[in-house]
Structure 1
Amino acid sequence: MSSEVYFSNFRSRSQGENKNSKIKQLFDRAGFGEFINKNDLTAIKLHFGEKGNDAFLKPVLINSVVEKTLEYRAKPFLTDTNTLYYGSRHNAVDHLQTAMKNGFAYAVTGVPVIIADGIRGDNWIPVNVGLNHFSKVKIAGDIEKSDSMLVLSHFKGHGMSGFGGAIKNLAMGCASAPGKIEQHQCAKPIITEECTGCETCIGSCPVSVMSLVEGKAVYDRGECIACNNCLSNCPESAIELDLDSLPEFMERMVEYAFGAVINKEGKVGYINFLMDITPDCDCESFSDASIVPDIGILASNDPVALDKASYDLVNQEAGLENSLLEHHHHQGGDKFRGVWEGVDGRVLLEYAEEIGMGFQKYELITL
């Protein structure tokens, strides 16, 4: 079987044709209005961007989706969940302040911003999935309780999953803090021989499980929450990801993504934005140069087909010079493995198809 994926590029030369009109056309062609009912509490799931990041989806584009949702007399709200790492979105107060600074204020969008897992990440509901790694997953309460959902994803690279699109947006973005810990538990950092004992990682550990032994950093693996604060803060790059653990990590993510939508069958739509395609997640406090040119916007009711089409479109582009992409500059080369060697994001797609989230085979319909 295959799924329909609708695509619109960014070319706009006629009056009244722009990104906002294209988003509305995609919304209609994908049939999102067919499952959004009057008075639905509709979660518009997106990423508000970390402080210092500027590649996240801009409010002016989100407004197009808000306007279409309001046409069906639903009650939309913008939403995300708090982060496991200790940045500018670790609790709902900081998260809301960051969202407002990045332009997601009621005065701009006309709808409220709700942090779906509560002030400290403990508002969650267990959802039965019965899969290989989890029998139940911990989904943010306000996402689980919503009547319908639109998942808006900035498609880009990611150091632990190769790429981030709709599936990752569901997996990490709809999980509570305990759920994020469950996904990361298999992927804990490795401290290498390059450690100089500078103790930076000890000071950056939010749960105080790191210490210095014989001049080298060590940590209590059982108590580590795998937030990777130590990895990102190490000035010597002496702390690395355990690449062998990443396939299991990605499978855990997929099971959480499955849990985020299992009780909303037929009531979820997905839009991927292939623009500002950076090497990293928008959780970083910076935005590196894009690895390929801007491509367009895609919409589908199938998150697997949508991510596969997005992945393919990125790889069809020639890589950009002066970016982190040092390999696979040619058209057809795997751009994400070019920036994250040893991380194969196709695991996400294969496992998501295996557990019944959707199909990798798709029909790309250009508007």
Structure 2
Amino acid sequence: MSKVYFIKNTQSNYDELGKDALKLLKKVVSETGHQFEKEVPIKVHFGEKGNKTFIPAKCYDEVINYLRENGVSPYYIETNVLYRGSRTTTELHIETAKAHGFTQIPIIIADGDIGTDYDEIEINKEYIKKCKIGRGYGRFKQFIVMSHFKGHIAAGFGGAIKQLAMGFAARGGKLEQHSGISPVVDANKCISCGICVKKCNYGAIQIKDSAVIDGNKCIGCAGCIAVCPKGAITNTWGGSHFLEKLSEYAYGASKDKDIIYITFVHNITEECDCLGTHMKPIADNIGVLAGKDPVALDTACLDLVQKSSGKKLFEKGRQALIHAEKIGLGKMEYELIQIN
């Protein structure tokens, strides 16, 4: 049974949330004897442009200051998104992050300028054999994964596991989780400019009447999606076994890594922070949770939200937790320890 530490906080005071996050971090460090390396990235989500309910930058100040005071150099770390938006390329991603206030420490976009730099992490699980993990993660052994618990249209909810799976995966890894197939071309939008052909290092794209992708040659890096000037190349979102693939990618992302997880159960919206619009919360604020087992942590968050709301919110996501436990990522059974 894994220990999950919890501070109840129903207020919308972000300074206090930051203090709670630090208190929980210190608790986990004390209880586990955790020793920090000289460099520790903080995995966060900067929020899509137009989103108003992502966890704001000030919530990370206390943790950042604590790390610095203890001789640790912290960084923010993320990967580029699969879809076209304000975080598709490193340049746009960092611009969005800074506009949202994430200016306290350097930012690492781990999968390169357009999301195609990755290392393959072998896991040999049921659906995924090798995970495409952003190359920038490879130089670090430790991370603090700080998540925002909220809904997600495909995953049921987003929390620690999704932060690992999607947040550590390069663009091709994200595509593999969602569909496992090649990107597709909308011939009506394609102008046959050939930019995608030049970008593809695998000879998988040809120009005929429009761009055509050879699924036998395509490795699913999805770099063509990022460089298409007309948005004619897209991914599909209807892949099979998405929740299981999500869990397996989380396993690959955390393999041989030493990670502390902290999750804010605040601003609980129906959709995730990737949606570039203002959303209204659908449940009351609950607090901050932390631990070293992402499965136990996500299970505790889900249980607390459902208990507080009296509804089976985000229940779809429990399937990912079941598979995560099955493959050895963590345990769903937990001891919830509330601290003041």
2:231 paired residue number: none
Opposite residue 89 of structure 1, the aligned amino acid is R
Matches within 5 A, 1:54-93: 54-93=52-91
Evaluate the alpha carbon distance shift between residue 294 and residue 224 of structure 1 in structure 2; reply closer, same or farther with a 3 A threshold.
farther
CA contact (8 A) 1:184 1:225 kept: no
What SS class does the counterpart of residue 335 from structure 1 fall into?
A: coil
Give the AA of the match of 2:20.
Answer: K
Which of 326, 335, 345 in structure 1 is aligned with 2:313? 335
Counterpart pick for 2:178 among 184, 195, 201: 184
1:283 match = 274
Contact 2:45–2:54 (CA under 8 A) maintained in structure 1: yes
Is residue 18 from structure 1 mapped to residue 16 from structure 2 by the alignment?
Answer: yes
Overall identity of the aligned pairs, in %? 36
Distance apart, 1:102 and its partner CA: 0.6
Q: Residue in 1 aligned with 2:46?
A: 48
Q: Is the 8 A contact 1:187 1:226 kept in 2?
A: no
Q: How far apart, in 2, do the equivalents of 1:363 and 1:273 lie?
A: 18
TM-score in terms of structure 2 length: 0.81
For residues 196 and 242 of structure 2, the distance between their equivalents in structure 1, rounded to whole angstroms, comes to: 21
Query: Partners in 1 of 2:178 and 2:283 — Cα distance?
Result: 29
Aligned counterparts of 1:44 and 1:203: Cα–Cα separation in 2: 39
Corresponding residue for residue 357 of structure 1? 329
2:159 to 160, 165, 174: 165
Deviation at 1:186, TM superposition (A): 4.6
1:9 aligns with 2:2: no
* Amino acid in the other structure paired with 1:315: Q
Q: CA deviation at 1:132?
A: 1.1
Query: How far 1:95 sits from its partner (Å)?
Result: 0.3
What letter matches 1:29 in structure 2?
K
Is 1:45–1:152's contact at 8 Å kept on the other side of the alignment?
yes
Q: Which residue of 2 aligns with 1:325?
A: none
Task: Could you tell me which runs of 5 or more consecutive residues in structure 2 were left unpaired when the two chains were aligned.
Answer: 198-204, 206-211, 226-235
How do 1:1-367 residues align onto structure 2 when only pairs under 5 Å count? 2-10=1-9, 18-31=16-29, 34-39=33-38, 41-105=39-103, 109=104, 111-186=105-180, 203=189, 222=215, 242=238, 245=239, 248-264=241-257, 267-318=258-309, 331=310, 333-337=311-315, 344-367=316-339
Change beyond 3 A, Cα 1:224–1:175: closer
Deviation digits for residues 267-302 of structure 1, max 9, x if unmatched?
200011000000111111113111101110000100
Provide the rounded CA distance (Å) in 1 between the counterparts of 2:65 and 2:112: 26
Secondary structure at the aligned position of 2:249 is classed as helix
| 1:185 positional shift | 1.9
Alpha-carbon distance change, 11 to 277 in structure 1, aligned in 2, over 3 angstroms: closer
* Preserved CA contact (<8 Å) 2:41 2:75: yes
Distance 1:336 1:221 in 2: 37
Aligned partners of 1:363 and 1:202: how far apart in 2?
Answer: 55
* Structure-2 separation of matches of 1:21 and 1:96: 26
Letter in 2 for 1:173: G
Mapped partners of 1:184, 1:202: distance in 2: 24
1:204, distance to aligned residue in structure 2 (A): 9.7
Deviation of the 1:18 alpha carbon: 2.8
Classify 1:179/1:28 alpha carbon distance in 2 versus 1 (closer, same or farther; 3 Å).
same
- TM-score w.r.t. the length of structure 1 is 0.76
Distance 1:180 1:11, change over 3 A: closer
Alpha-carbon contact 1:36-1:148 (below 8 Å) kept: no
Per the TM alignment, residue 363 of structure 1 is displaced from its structure 2 partner at its CA by: 0.5
1:324 alignment counterpart = none
Change (3 A) 1:203 1:225: farther
CA distance in 1, matches of 2:132, 2:171: 9
- CA gap of 1:38–1:346, structure 2 versus 1, over 3 A, is closer
RCO higher in structure (CA 8 A, sep ≥6): 2
Cα drift, residue 94 of structure 1:
0.4
Equivalents in 2 of 1:120, 1:241: separation in Å? 20
CA-to-partner distance for each residue in 1:138-169, whole Å, 9 max, x for gaps? 11111122131000000000000100100001
Contact 1:207 1:224 in 2 (8 A): no
Three-state SS of the structure 2 residue aligned to 1:283 is: coil
Superposed CA offset, 1:102-132 (max 9, x none): 1111xxx2x2111111111122111111211
Structure 1 moving runs of 4+ over 6 Å: 204-209, 223-227
Secondary structure of 1:263's partner?
A: coil
Cα deviation 1:183-236 (Å, max 9, x = unaligned): 1225899xxxxxxxxxx9954999899xxxxxxxxx989589799x9xxxxxxx
Q: Measure how far apart 1:37 and its partner are.
A: 2.7
The answer to whether the Cα contact below 8 Å between 1:124 and 1:139 also exists between their aligned partners in 2 is yes
- State the alpha-carbon separation in 2 of the partners of residues 201 and 309 from structure 1: 46
Change (3 A) 1:298 1:182: same
Q: CA RMSD in A?
A: 3.1
In the alignment of these two chains, the number of paired residues is 306
